[in-house]
Amino acid sequence: MKIIDLTNPQRVNREPDKKITLFSSGNYTEQGFKIKTVQLRQYIEKIDEKLGPFSLITTLVETDKDSIEMLYDEGYGEKSTLEQTADFLKSHLGLSSLILRSVIALKEASKKQNTQ
């Protein structure tokens, strides 16, 4: 099952304009979830001549049980915004906190689904 953790899931109902795989070894486990892949995904929603592209950046974490796509950042930025975000996450322990946040969200979604 894929969970979309966004206020408006329609914003990601298409292929992303750009994506970067941050992790894909599949040999990392967090709280009982085997992490298969972690991606940053960029959806360009509009382009302003002065401000540049308005992008929605999400994270996609795929596990052996479920996957979740969550908002990471949004706003106007440069064409290299996705690459800059990926570099920041890789160099500042952001990847582990991103995985932990995703696993917690997956657990909460599973709880909600089991009580319905």
Residues comprising the chain, all counted: 116
Q: How many domains does the chain have?
A: 1
For tokens 């599973």, the residue is: 110
The predicted-structure confidence for 63-98, as pLDDT tens digits, reads as follows 999 999 999 999 998 889 999 999 988 887 788 888
Residue 29 belongs to domain spanning: 2-115
Residue 116 has pLDDT above 70, yes or no: no
Q: How many CA atoms lie within 13 A of 57 on its CB side?
A: 22
